[in-house]
Amino acid sequence: MNAPSVQSELARQHVIDPEICIRCNTCEEMCPVKAISHDARNYVVNFEICSWCNACIGPCPTGAIDNIRNVRKDQPYSLADQLGWDVLPGFTEYDNMAVGSATTEVPDEVQRITDVATAGQGGQALAPWSASHPYVNLYGPNNPVTATVSGNYRLTAEGASSAIHHVVLDFGTTPFPVLEGQSIGIIPPGTDANGKPHLLRMYSVASPREGERPGYNNLALTVKRVTEDHDGKPSMGVCSNYVCDLKKGDQVQVTGPYGTTFLMPNHPGASIMMICTGTGSAPMRAMTERRRRRMNQKEGGELMLFFGARTREELPYLGPLQQLPKDFIDINFAFSRTPDQPKQYVQDLIRARADKVAAMLADDNCFIYICGLKGMETGVLEAFSDICRARGMDWETLRPALLKKARFHVETY
Ligand code: FAD
Ligand code: A2P
């Protein structure tokens, strides 16, 4: 196969693992568009017909149905190919590529928000080669899933200048699979000034893939109550205030999940450098918690965190972070408004740890994630640039190389 010139020539193909399938016929019965059929040997999915409604995924008793391969749109696996399989075909170079223009996969409003949020990485990112495959856009604005609030507590001290909440949403029996680094959409109730339903807002998932409480179909968010706009003028954010005011038992309209690239590497030995401010800590908490829960598996790979907040009292998850073993994660807190202390930003600490940062930038096994205030991007990129220059490395050459190797991920808002 010739490599496609652009990723929009690729498509995802839903396939069934013949080694695991128990031929129970459930998927064929569930499929509303009759994309699934079988012969005496295999169950197969018709690429031309499958509409990605995922009605077959949840009921499958073995998970055989839950497989995807990236293929050229003009060369999908045919029904005859699939009927002949004893095992699934292996992954190809295409499986490491983001598929299509995401506009075809997620609502336009999500694509617009995402383009702005990821602009700082300087190009289209790929997911790390060892990332798990994400589900995207299972529920849209026209078919949101209803989640129930199972907890909402304030993370920042009462009286602190910002209120950040940890909110847990439960999806009951509705499948809502997420990976660390993905986001969800929340549709606030009511209408905007023009009488139109509010647009969704995106929030990063703050819990690991197996749930805030392992084995429960739930997830956590880290949401800051917006009370002023970016220029400091009073402005009550529609969705953030709605979410921060939610009570246990309230129901919320959720879309998503979203995000195919800001995903953590899964292979043993992979290191992760995380740089965040405020609620940008949400995906970092998810990744750290994933690693913490698997700590005894000794998968290795370093974790390094640069985390900026106004004061200690305004740093979400300070207590749990401080309890993590030093040899598990290298934590660097930057506080900008501690009385009688010089203002510190994450980029100041990145410079202070220049030797280690340079080593991690140069390490092909290290993946870098930046999330939080848009304003932080410039300072962090300048710090990287200076650190590289002082060591004979060129950041302008390194950044595209990192991007190509799926090692550099930015999500700022
Ligand atoms: P709006 O009613 O939309 O806006 C009110 C005013 O506040 C406007 O003037 C607007 O410009 C300004 N404003 C908007 N956002 C902010 C902000 N963050 N700080 C200050 N002023 C603002 N937010 C979280 O709290 N936690 C998350 O984990 C999170 N993850 C996100 C992930 C992605 C990929 C993106 C793109 C955004 C994320 N956000 C997150 C931001 C979130 O989507 C909303 O933009 C934010 O909650 C404000 O929405 P709102 O409806 O309350 O404010
Ligand atoms: P500051 O005290 O200057 O606002 P917030 O609480 O508004 O979400 O911000 C989180 C942290 O990010 C705060 O410490 C804030 O400092 C800091 N911050 C603001 N602007 C930048 C920037 N350009 N680069 C890095 N950090 C920043």
CA distance 309 to 345: 8
pLDDT of residue 357: 98
pLDDT of residue 21: 94
204: annotated active-site residue: yes
Give the ligand at the shortest distance from the Cα of 245: 1
Verify whether ligand 1 is closer than 6 Å to residue 374 (CB atom): no
Verify whether ligand 2 is closer than 6 Å to residue 123 (CB atom): no
Domain segments of the chain as ranges: 7-96, 114-131+261-412, 145-258
Verify whether ligand 1 is closer than 6 Å to residue 220 (CB atom): no
Token code pair at residue 294: 């698997």
Fold of 7-96: Alpha-Beta Plaits (3.30.70)
Q: Which option is the CATH number for 145-258: 3.90.1660.10, 3.20.20.220, 2.40.30.30, 2.40.30.10? A: 2.40.30.10
Provide CB contacts within 8 A for 48, sequence distance 6+.
Answer: none
Over the range 351-379, which residues count as b (16 or more CB within 10 Å of their CB) and which as e?
Answer: bebbeebbebbeeebbbbbbbbbbebbeb
From the CA of 413, how far away is ligand 1's center (Å)? Answer: 7
Verify whether ligand 1 is closer than 6 Å to residue 332 (CB atom): no
Residue type, 11: A
CA-nearest of 78, 97, 77, 69 to 5 is 97
Question: Is the whole model's pTM more than 0.85, yes or no?
Answer: no
The parts of the chain modelled with pLDDT lower than 50 are: 1-6, 100-104
Active-site option among 27, 31, 77, 204: 204
Question: For 290-372, where are the E strands, in sequence order?
Answer: 303-309, 330-335, 366-372
- The answer to whether 344 and 370 are in contact (CB under 8 A) is no
- The answer to whether 280 and 409 are in contact (CB under 8 A) is no
pLDDT of residue 96: 66
- Please report, to the nearest 10 degrees, the dihedral formed by the alpha carbons of residues 118, 185, 259, 21 taken in order: 180
Looking at ligand 1, which residue's alpha carbon is closest to its atom 27?
Answer: 203
CA distance 256 to 136: 6
Best residue among 224, 336, 412, 413 to mutate for probing ligand 2, ranked by most atoms within 8 Å of CB: 336
| Rg for the chain, CA atoms, rounded | 22
pLDDT of residue 4: 44
pLDDT of residue 133: 87
From the CA of 411, how far away is ligand 1's center (Å)? Answer: 13
411: annotated active-site residue: yes
CATH for the stretch 114-131+261-412: 3.40.50.80
What is the DSSP code (8-state) at residue 266?
-
Verify whether ligand 2 is closer than 6 Å to residue 303 (CB atom): no
